[in-house]
Every structure is written in C-alpha cells, then in structure tokens.
C-alpha cells in the first residue's frame, strides 16, 4: 500500500499507509436473523353419527368449527392485529437446517482456513496470519512469468500465482484494445521483514510521525497476501506518467474488474478504509466479486460485511444468467442453472465448519474472510462473471449494510 502522491516525498510511492490509531472501524457483525416461520395448525374434527342427536349440539359444533377456521386463517396470514407474543413458538434453526440437508453436500473446513483465500480482509485492524511454519504465501516471480507484458520495479517482485496470471491476462487484453504495453508492477508481495525495513527507513528519514501516518505496521499490510499490486505507467522509452493521469486510465478501470481486481482504496471510501486515495493499488478478489463490488459501489471492508446478509439459512446472492444481481431464497438454489451463488457461512465455535455446497454445483470456492467465517462462491453451468445491473432489493441491502456498519 502506498501513501498519497507528493512530489516532496520521493519515498511515498512505495509506502503503505496507516490510519491514525484512534480511529476504529469494524465490519458489520453478523447477518440479520432469518425470518421467523409460523407453524400452521390444522384441526381435525371427527363426526360421529349418533342416533337422536340433539340439533342444538350440531349447531354448536358448526359454529365452533367456523370460529376455529377463522382463527387459523388469521394466524396463517398475519391479519387481525395478533401480537407476536401470542403466536406459537417455533424452532427456526431446526426448520431452516432441514433445507440444506436435502439440496447440499457438506465440506469440512478447518479453522485455520478462515485466514486463507482470495477474499481475506487485511487492514489496519485485521492482521495477515502468516503460516505457522514462518513462511509467507506461495508466490511467483513477476518477471519470469509475465511474458514481457509487465515491467517490474525490482527483479524480486512476486505475486500470488493466480493473481499474477489474471494480471498478465488483463495486460494482454489491454494492449490488444489500446495498443499500450505500459504497466509496471511497482510494489508487490512483501514479507514481514520487508515491512519492518520499510517502516524503520521511513522513521529514520522522515520521522516517526510520518511513518505512523503513511506506513502500515508490519503484519497489517495487504501486500503480505501476495494479492495486492501497486501499478505504475512506464512507457518503453522510459518516460512515465502518474497512473491517474494516464490517458487510458478509465479504460483500465472499466476492464480490470472482469479479471478479478478492485481499486482497493478509492477516494470516496477513505472514512471506511482509513487509507488515502491510492489510484495505483489494486487487489485481487476474484470474479465475480470484483464486478459485484464495482456495481454496488462498496469498498472491500463494506463488501465483506454486506455478504453476511446472505446465508444458507436465508437467501443467497444470485448472479443470474442475464448478469443481474438478485437475492434468491437458498431453498431454491437447486432450480438455477448457468448462475453464480455467493453466501456466507459463520465459522464454527469449535472444530471444523461444515460448509454447505449445493449438489447441482459444477464448481465452488471457499475463502475465509480472515475474521469470523467463510465466503462461498458456487458456479452452476456456465455463469456470467460480470454484473450488468443490481436488483433493487440487493442495492437496498447493500445501502443498509453500510449504514449499520458505520461507527
């Protein structure tokens, strides 16, 4: 992560930025509870033929049956102003758990997996969890694997292999569309030691206050994931231009979500990310998540919280074949085809988490969010990867999630 552009700060281009410590932000805790289900009672009346039945008794039974029928209708429809405290108690958890058992298989996911995957959140509050053996994530050399489509600031620059592959694909298609081969990876994966050195260097040269403001604490840099890249524009003749002033920057911003990348620190989300505007810092989150984030207008912190509204005991986020993002009752996931489903599964309090995956899935990915659960991305058939529009209900949920997530 880098600090803001400043001609008087030659080192700020390669420096991540840290927010003031006193400011706190946390993703929204937990998704809304599922709707309560109302048990509908059915009364059965058995008529017994008796000789010499008293007509008055017959009339009484008919009136009583009518009263009970009206009562059942009122309870079933919620009409008549009946207060919740007189409704029969229901075991909501037991009822909602029955649905996934019929349409899902279960993937046993270890607790440590909550810290792995393309959707882990790393910021000034949530640290990157390094592997227990003290190593970093698996990374690959940018220079050795970019087919000459990317320049590098250092021969040691490396990225997560999937992130690098998608970045190279983007660079290739970008050149085909614009004729430009100009992107340089200015900063990529950083070890814990790298971040210590950067922080110490800034403290010694520019002062401790500057380091605290512009450099992330070791362990809290998104560059530790190997899925973040700071990009610069450098042409073959050696000339360069600030990336936000590059003539085809808007084309880049239009194209790059389709390859799984988001602009991590947009200017209008500084209050949430606690990081200044960084038009050069891109983070791989995968498809279709990048397109969803772009269309809903959320930043990554907000998106991770927003997904908690979609669970296996409620509704899934549904990218329909026409590219429209909607909400779909999870009980109906077996009916869809050529679609993508996204939903959140809370991490179990103890032991492995049983993650439900619909039986009609043709592919799935399970990523931890680095805090309290797993984000499941299910594909059925040949789904769309790009969101063309957002359903009104989803847009409202996203809006409400942002509001409730603010402090």
Task: CATH number of the domain at 311, please.
Answer: 3.30.1380.10
The count of other CB atoms within 10 Å of the CB of residue 83 is 6
Residue 85 lies in a domain: no
Residue 64 lies in a domain: no
- Residue 220: DSSP 8-state: -
Tell me whether residue 278 is one of the annotated catalytic residues. Answer: yes
Q: What is the pLDDT of residue 23?
A: 31
Query: Residue 1 to residues 181, 186, 220: CA-CA distances in angstroms?
Result: 23, 10, 10
404: alpha, beta or left, given left = phi > 0 and alpha = psi -120 to 50? alpha
Q: What is the pLDDT of residue 64?
A: 52
SS3 letters across 257-320: HHHCEEEEECHHHHHHHCCCCEEEEEEECCCCHHHHHHHHCCCHHHHHHHHHHCECCCEEEEEC
What is the domain count for the chain?
1
Residue 124 lies in a domain: yes
Question: Using an 8 Å Cβ cutoff, are 366 and 117 in contact?
Answer: yes
Q: What is the pLDDT of residue 266?
A: 94
Which residue, among 117, 166, 108, 139, has the nearest Cα to 365 in the 3D structure? 117
Residue 73 lies in a domain: no
Residue 329 lies in a domain: yes
Q: What is the pLDDT of residue 3?
A: 40
Print the domain residue range for 262: 12-26+104-405
d(CA 22, CA 16): 18
Condensed to tens digits (0 to 9), the pLDDT of residues 175-219 reads: 999 999 999 999 999 999 998 998 899 899 999 877 766 677 899
Residue 139 lies in a domain: yes
Condensed to tens digits (0 to 9), the pLDDT of residues 231-247 reads: 999 999 999 999 999 99
Question: Using an 8 Å Cβ cutoff, are 343 and 311 in contact?
Answer: yes
Helix (H) or strand (E) holding 140: strand 140-141
Residue 372 lies in a domain: yes
Cis check: omega of the bond before 288, within 30 degrees of 0: yes
Tens-binned pLDDT, residue by residue, of the chain (407 aa): 444 433 333 333 334 433 333 333 333 344 443 333 223 333 333 333 334 445 554 455 554 555 445 444 434 443 333 333 322 332 333 333 445 568 999 999 999 999 999 999 999 999 999 988 878 899 999 999 999 999 999 999 999 999 999 999 999 999 999 999 999 999 999 999 998 998 899 899 999 877 766 677 899 999 999 999 999 999 999 999 999 999 999 999 999 999 999 999 999 999 999 888 899 999 999 999 999 999 999 999 999 999 999 999 999 999 999 999 999 999 999 999 999 999 999 999 999 999 999 999 999 999 999 999 999 999 999 999 999 999 999 999 999 988 765 43
* Residue tagged 């029969």 (tokens): 88
Helix (H) or strand (E) holding 368: strand 363-368
Catalytic residue (one of 222, 278, 294, 302) = 278
Residue 66 lies in a domain: no
- Token code pair at residue 135: 């190593």
């Amino acid at each position: 992560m880098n600090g803001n552009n400043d001609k008087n700060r030659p080192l700020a281009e390669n420096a991540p930025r840290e927010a003031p410590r006193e400011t706190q932000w946390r993703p929204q805790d937990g998704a809304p509870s599922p709707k309560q289900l109302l048990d509908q009672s059915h009364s059965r009346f058995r008529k017994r033929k008796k000789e010499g039945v008293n007509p008055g008794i017959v009339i009484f039974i008919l009136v009583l049956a009518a009263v009970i029928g009206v009562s059942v209708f009122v309870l079933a429809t919620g009409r008549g102003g009946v207060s919740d405290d007189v409704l029969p108690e229901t075991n909501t958890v037991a009822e909602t758990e029955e649905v996934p058992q019929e349409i899902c298989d279960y993937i046993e996911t270890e607790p440590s997996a909550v810290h792995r995957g393309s959707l882990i959140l790393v910021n000034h509050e949530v640290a990157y969890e390094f592997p227990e053996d003290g190593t970093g994530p698996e990374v690959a050399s940018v220079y050795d694997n970019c087919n000459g489509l990317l320049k590098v600031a250092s021969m040691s620059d490396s990225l997560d292999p999937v992130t690098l592959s998608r970045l190279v694909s983007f660079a290739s298609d970008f050149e085909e569309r614009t004729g430009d081969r100009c992107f340089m990876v200015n900063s990529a994966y950083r070890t814990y030691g790298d971040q210590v050195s950067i922080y110490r260097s800034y403290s010694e040269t520019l002062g401790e206050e500057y380091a605290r403001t512009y450099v992330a604490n070791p362990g809290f840099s998104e560059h530790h994931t190997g899925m973040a890249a700071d990009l610069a524009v450098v042409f073959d003749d050696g000339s360069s231009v600030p990336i936000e002033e590059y003539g085809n920057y808007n084309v880049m911003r239009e194209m790059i979500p389709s390859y799984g990348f988001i602009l991590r620190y947009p200017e209008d989300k500084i209050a949430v990310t606690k990081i200044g505007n960084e038009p050069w810092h891109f983070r791989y989150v995968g498809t279709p998540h990048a397109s969803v984030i772009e269309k809903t207008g959320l930043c990554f912190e907000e998106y991770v919280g927003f997904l908690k509204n979609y669970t296996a005991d409620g509704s899934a986020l549904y990218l329909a074949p026409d590219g429209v993002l909607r909400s779909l009752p999870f009980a109906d996931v077996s009916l869809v085809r050529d679609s993508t489903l996204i939903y959140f599964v809370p991490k179990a309090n103890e032991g492995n988490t049983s993650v439900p995956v619909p039986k009609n899935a043709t592919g799935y990915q399970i990523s931890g969010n680095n805090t309290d659960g797993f984000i499941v991305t299910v594909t059925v058939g040949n789904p769309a990867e790009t969101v063309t529009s957002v359903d009104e209900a989803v847009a409202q949920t996203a809006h409400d999630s942002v509001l409730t997530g603010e402090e």
